[in-house]
Structure 1
Amino acid sequence: MSIGVRSSPYWPVVSHPKLGRILPGLVVSALGDGMSLVAVTWLALQLAPQEHRGTWVAVAVAAYSLPSAAGGVLFGRFLRHRGGAQLAGWNAILRAAALGAIALAAALGALHLPLYVALLAVSSLLAAWGSAGHYTLIAELLPPVHHLPANAVLTTIANGATIAGPPLAGLLIGWTSPATVIAIDAASFAVLALTYRLAVPPGAPAADGSSSRAGFAALRRDRTLLGLLALSFAFFFLFGPFYVAMPVHVATDLHGSATLLGGYYTAFGAGALLGGLVTGYLRRLSLWPTTIGIVLAFGTAMLPLGLDVPTPVAIGSFALAGAIWAPYMATSMALFQRTTPAADLPQVLAANGAVLVLAVPLGTMLGGPLVALLGARPTLLACAAATIALGVFVIPVWWYRRHGSGGGPA
């Protein structure tokens, strides 16, 4: 069994002397984030007036992620030469401070919706740099052959945390309040910041300072990469309204509690954990058909959420959707790695990330008006159907590029 473990593509990652010290901090922080999946939306539901609940949930969720795109541009001049651990650590410090301020304001009875949204926005300003820091650190510490399994480890940690985080959040909200859960998330980011500070010396190698504009230029020149970026953006965008529709659906259509919402998230996380674990063993499959197939299968698995099916069936389909969703980022990143020259890869991935970070928040912002217009359950159904349509549309485009224009990447 020991030989099997050591032959795993993940062993060089988890056994690395520095990464091995960082992974526990990442697990703690991911658990806090998993709890916040429920707490951020549930606190918005509690603070918002009844007639505008969907809109304020959309605003809160967008505020917790969308400003990271602005931060990625505004702070590039100051942060692009920093090392990976420094970037990730600074993001963790800001998250801890802003989320802690939310909990403090709630404890003092001073929390209201504009302040809540503003503090969520502040907390997310460095999120893009924090994510870049994680992956930059991997590039600093590991040879290229181990980058893909290392990325999969990060994804698996995040997915695994959604198994325990949401139900724990549901229980804590029932006993205390969503503000208490947000305080715990703030503490988890403080732990992560301390972990980075202790595990990686301040003198670690600096990140590449190349301008992200070179990445955008490379994307414009390569129609295959541009098409992959468009597919990813549309895929993530269509998932965005879920973050509004699902809590409203649970609270209004199902008359459920935060615990039930946490159960849905846990099911998705359990499926995503399984999907993430098997991702490293999909390397023999052709990447483009696999990536398109993920889009089609994910939309199909999401359909029962928008239909009047028993709750256990809906939860099971959501778990299946999580398993299908998990490999997408790995396969799409592998396509970038296979297609892009090594010298251009950091800039191209930075440009790709700067665009994709907008997709889910913009979809979430659309979710508010959609829920108000259609209702929560029809919104879920419409998004699932649109995701299937996206996959169907991409198939002939890929087929033509592969077979009708002299070939292309598989």
Structure 2
Amino acid sequence: MSPDVARFPRTSPYWPVVSHPLLRHVLPGLAVSALGDGMAVVAVTWLAIQLAPQDQRGLWIALAVAAYALPSAAGTVIFGRWLRGRGGAQLAGWDAILRATALAAIPIAHLAGMLTIGLYVVLLAASALLHSWGSAGRFTLIAELLPERHHLPANAVLTTISGFATIVGPPLAGILIGWAGPVWVIAIDAATFAVLALTYRLALPATGTIQRYERTASRTAGFAVIRRQPALLGLLVLSLWFFFFFGPVYVAMPIHITDDRHASATLLGVYYTAFGVGGLVGGVVAGHLRRWPLRATTIGIVIGFGVAMLPLGLGAPVGLSLPGFALAGLIWAPYMSVSMALFQRTASTEQLPAVLAANGAVLVLAVPLGTMVGGPLVGAIGARPTLLLCAVAIVTLGLVAAGVRVARRNAQGSGATEVSARH
């Protein structure tokens, strides 16, 4: 046995994360909760189909899906005054408690015979109000507990857990829906969030390690910090347009499969599975990028993702476009881990919860807005041209970001040379 093999897994960048005396107790709860959310992706829409009037199903499905995510943007501002100064575990724990409570009310209302489509959407919206703060809390907790060199591997662990859940959760939900119905899958999702809330409460006791911060009255302090930090503002703008340009893919892909390729939903599922498997591999790879220049890496990911999407937009055969879509998933996966590491390095730990919540509030709107644009865009130019336009737009975005970065570095270099010449 070689020395490297003998030392594994202690030589892995993930070892300090999974062996951390506090984080190792939190990760199982996060995995359980992620699996519940993976199942909810199917259950939320399926229950909406059952509850909505036959002639309004499309509208109510869209409202249910939006309600499960978009209210987090409003929650960032509404609760900013009270939550900005909280520690990571507290924020994540409160989000888990709200999710568990609001989602549990859905099967309870069902048992009481009171569950209507309107009440269902309201409860989904209530469950999502603290989601941006909960996500911010998880990444803030990493910054609180680990030194900077371990932030990227820890972020990658979180995104890999989520990626695995998106592969396993939907088919598991399909089985459970056929057996018990979608309302009970949502009940399971609520139970997983209850487990997560207990994990935060029991695995992370109040100690000097988890810092407490002075709170301010500002509801929008996170946005103000991002606005004052050019590096953070540039990253947010890059992420916003990256996610927005990907949004129309959710509309164009199924229509491309059915109308252009004359295939069934099975092929669409194969594409999404390939993307998910690629994403899982990319999530594992992300932890090994900690020595790469992070800003350049985010720009490279954007360009690489757009290039990997080109075969699909160009109408390449499945034998080429399917591996390309899997490669796109692999390239996409490290983006959140790397961008979160940039936030963790640039913002102070005191500012980080509000900054990450503000970032999440903006990004949670990007893909839905892009998806909304995708409908009329596909109607105007067709599905495959829409996919091609998305790919070209993403590549162009990355190239523009690279050009801005080079120009800024040259300007800084010129400024430093002039200062030296004067002295």
Q: TM-score, normalised by structure 1?
A: 0.83
Residue in 1 that maps onto 2:19: 15
Structure 2 CA distance for partners of 1:35 and 1:85, relative to 1, 3 Å:
same
1:337, 1:345 within 8 Å by CA — same for their partners in 2?
A: yes
Question: Any stretches of 5+ residues in structure 2 without a counterpart?
Answer: 416-423
Is 1:198 the counterpart of 2:205? The answer is no
Aligned equivalent of 2:405, options 357, 375, 398: 398
2:52, 2:117 within 8 Å by CA — same for their partners in 1?
A: yes
CA distance in 1, matches of 2:54, 2:257: 15
CA distance in 2, matches of 1:313, 1:144: 39
Supply the RMSD in Å over aligned alpha carbons. 3.6
Aligned residues with identical type, % of pairs? 66
Residue in 2 that maps onto 1:89: 93
Structure 2 CA distance for partners of 1:242 and 1:44, relative to 1, 3 Å:
farther
Aligned equivalent of 1:362, options 358, 369, 375: 369
Q: Which amino acid aligns with 1:322?
A: G
Residue in 1 that maps onto 2:419: none
CA distance in 2, matches of 1:123, 1:206: 27
Aligned 1:93-112 pairs, distance under 5 A: 93-105=97-109, 111-112=115-116
CA distance in 1, matches of 2:111, 2:269: 24
CA distance in 2, matches of 1:240, 1:386: 12
Question: Any stretches of 5+ residues in structure 1 without a counterpart?
Answer: none
Structure 2 CA distance for partners of 1:121 and 1:313, relative to 1, 3 Å:
farther
Q: Which amino acid aligns with 2:29?
A: G
Aligned equivalent of 2:187, options 166, 169, 183: 183
SS in structure 1 opposite 2:413?
coil
Q: Which amino acid aligns with 2:154?
A: A
1:81, 1:206 within 8 Å by CA — same for their partners in 2?
A: no
Aligned equivalent of 1:148, options 127, 149, 152: 152
Residue in 2 that maps onto 1:236: 243
Greater gyration radius:
2
Aligned equivalent of 1:300, options 297, 300, 307: 307
Residue in 1 that maps onto 2:326: 319
CA distance in 2, matches of 1:186, 1:248: 33
CA distance in 2, matches of 1:79, 1:130: 10
Aligned 1:7-406 pairs, distance under 5 A: 7-44=11-48, 56-105=60-109, 111-201=115-205, 205-208=210-213, 209=215, 213-243=220-250, 256=264, 263-305=270-312, 315-337=322-344, 339=346, 348-367=355-374, 370=377, 379-406=386-413
Q: What displacement does 1:93 show? A: 2.1
1:162, 1:266 within 8 Å by CA — same for their partners in 2?
A: no
Q: What displacement does 1:228 show? A: 1.9
Q: Which amino acid aligns with 1:220?
A: R
Q: What displacement does 1:274 show? A: 1.0
Structure 2 CA distance for partners of 1:123 and 1:263, relative to 1, 3 Å:
farther
2:312, 2:321 within 8 Å by CA — same for their partners in 1?
A: yes
SS in structure 2 opposite 1:280?
helix
SS in structure 2 opposite 1:6?
coil
CA distance in 2, matches of 1:273, 1:21: 22
Structure 2 CA distance for partners of 1:345 and 1:35, relative to 1, 3 Å:
closer
CA distance in 2, matches of 1:52, 1:262: 26
1:62, 1:362 within 8 Å by CA — same for their partners in 2?
A: no
More displaced 10-residue stretch of structure 1: 68-77 or 234-243: 234-243
